[in-house]
Amino acid sequence: MIDTSAFQGKTAAYFTLGCKLNFSETSTFGRILEEMGVRTVERDADICIINTCSVTEVADHKCRQAIHRMVRENPGAFVVVTGCYAQLKPETVSGIDGVDLVLGANEKADLIQFLSEAWSCGRSVTSLHRYHTEKTKDIKTFAPSCSRGNRTRYFLKVQDGCNYFCTYCTIPYARGFSRNPSIDSLVAQARQAAEEGGKEIVLTGVNIGDFGETTNERFIDLVKALDKVEGISRYRISSIEPDLLDDELIEYCAHSRAFMPHFHIPLQSGSDEVLRLMHRRYDSALFAHKIKLIKDTMPDAFIGVDVMVGTRGEKPELFEETYDFLKSLDVTQLHVFPYSERPGTAALKIPYIVPDQDKKRRSKRLLDLSDEKTEAFYRQHIGKEAEVLFEKAASGKAMHGFTKNYIRVELPPSPDNDRLDNQLVNVRLGDFNYNKTALKAIL
Ligand code: SF4
């Protein structure tokens, strides 16, 4: 039982690095603390919570910088650090001046309990520089989270951890093995979001398609159950591995009530040789089949694709295979990540190393290809009618929203715009806006 009286009237500041999952979890910690009487502030807080990421060397560096900054801006605060970097480097993090408590992936679910215990003990006596982390195989807890990105969009965490162990990735070490809550509990969270006025939910997780490991349920059954929740008009699946994106799931989405024609699928490489080196569980032919099935059943679907460039073993001719493959695919946008060496990963045993200059050149070519594809996709929709879910804008600023198939739409500033906040509105899509980041809406 948590003694909430000790928290009444206190303040907290939060900082999050990394993926949507981390943002979703931090926002849930914030909501729980608010319910306990803790006000959120930007600086001079009594409590700081920093949720870290360790996806690249740069991410580790940013985490250390963020911790130093939070300690500096919140003198005397009780500082808790959690997340992937905390799990992988607990001793380093607990050694940073000003850090009071470090919680790994298993303890993250009980962050509020740990905080409460440490807080009531008095930080100066017992809790300074303590850390709690379990070995990867012992990470079993699941921190439930359904956060409100804004009033319009919610992020519902449906799964955590990963069993894949791709050779370049540290996420399974940082987040543990795949696990999930029950379909019933997730439907209850979706209903709650609908009651609060939420219209759109993004399903988040580390390897979402692996849903069901813990509860013996199937991802498609989760999708079907959520589709029935009244009040939620739109669902998006944040990202799903191609081998887990079943044909049955694609066909269901094509006819579903509320699952949007919008997919985000990690390809990583279009070369079968590089995919083998990465220990990915599909080949380019399977990926091409999934894209074709999506486009055959949902011709207007938006498809985002993750690609990693410059991994070990990606010889110039293999990068060209990736480039040609992506060029031939009917996809909308590429998310390009330059490979970063991670200590302890199997990829370090692959001898061929791509020079940094080549990584940059390859990234640039793929980003240019991505721009061409996105622009062509947007252009195809100019003049068409579309339903847009508008999001609140700051006073005097343009209002934005997204179509079902994730085209960003812009309305010029107007005092009347407020009435459109969180509303589904049918518009005609006009030309590009000034900086080509959206299509203009014609009401
Ligand atoms: S599927 Fe591969 S890249 Fe994705 S989290 Fe799991 S190990 Fe990492």
Q: What mean pLDDT do residues 362-380 have?
A: 98
Query: Residue 59: in which H helix or E strand, if any?
Result: helix 57-73
Average pLDDT, the chain: 92
228 burial type by CB count under 10 A (0-12 exposed, 13-18 middle, 19+ buried): exposed
Domain endpoint, select from 350, 380, 410: 380
Residues 15 and 130 in one domain: yes
Residues 58 and 164 in one domain: no
Residues 46 and 92 in one domain: yes
Residues 430 and 345 in one domain: no
Residues 201 and 251 in one domain: yes
Q: What mean pLDDT do residues 157-163 have?
A: 94
Q: At 130, is the pLDDT very low, low, confident or very high (cuts 50, 70, 90)?
A: low
- Is the model's pLDDT at 188 over the cut of 80? yes
Rounding to the nearest 10 degrees, give the CA dihedral for residues 190, 195, 197, 200.
10
Give me the pLDDT at residue 5, please.
78
SS3 (DSSP) at 68: helix
- Is the model's pLDDT at 187 over the cut of 90? yes
- Is the model's pLDDT at 143 over the cut of 90? no
Give me the pLDDT at residue 129, please.
45
pLDDT tens for 38-72 read 999 999 999 999 999 998 888 999 999 999 999 99
- Is the model's pLDDT at 393 over the cut of 90? no
Domain endpoint, select from 380, 398, 419: 380
Question: Which domain range does residue 422 map to?
Answer: 385-442
- Is the model's pLDDT at 329 over the cut of 70? yes
- Is the model's pLDDT at 363 over the cut of 90? yes
* Cα four-point dihedral sign 310, 315, 319, 321: negative
Q: What mean pLDDT do residues 172-182 have?
A: 92
The CATH number assigned to the domain holding 178 equals 3.30.750.210
Give me the pLDDT at residue 68, please.
97
- Is the model's pLDDT at 131 over the cut of 70? no
* Partners of 336 in the β-ladder: 307
| Residue among 169, 213, 244, 308 whose CB has most ligand 1 atoms within 8 A, to mutate | 169
Domain endpoint, select from 102, 134, 166: 134
| Residue among 21, 207, 306, 335 whose CB has most ligand 1 atoms within 8 A, to mutate | 207
Q: How far is the CA of 286 from the centre of ligand 1 (A)?
A: 18
Q: How far is the CA of 270 from the centre of ligand 1 (A)?
A: 17
> How many independent structural domains does the chain possess?
4
3-state helix, strand, coil in the chain (%, to 5): 40, 20, 35
Say if CB 270 and CB 288 are below 8 A apart. no
Pairwise CA distance, residues 402 & 390, whole Å? 7
* Partners of 79 in the β-ladder: 48
Q: What mean pLDDT do residues 278-298 have?
A: 98
Q: What mean pLDDT do residues 215-241 have?
A: 97
Pairwise CA distance, residues 116 & 157, whole Å? 24
Give me the pLDDT at residue 83, please.
93
Give me the pLDDT at residue 125, please.
37
Q: What mean pLDDT do residues 286-306 have?
A: 98
| Residue among 167, 177, 206, 267 whose CB has most ligand 1 atoms within 8 A, to mutate | 206
Pairwise CA distance, residues 356 & 338, whole Å? 9
Q: At 124, is the pLDDT very low, low, confident or very high (cuts 50, 70, 90)?
A: very low
Residues 123 and 18 in one domain: yes
Residues 144 and 130 in one domain: no
Pairwise CA distance, residues 53 & 63, whole Å? 7
Residue tagged 């309305």 (tokens): 411
Residues at CB less than 6 angstroms from ligand 1 = 162, 164-166, 169, 171-172, 206-207, 241
Say if CB 11 and CB 41 are below 8 A apart. yes
Q: What mean pLDDT do residues 319-332 have?
A: 98
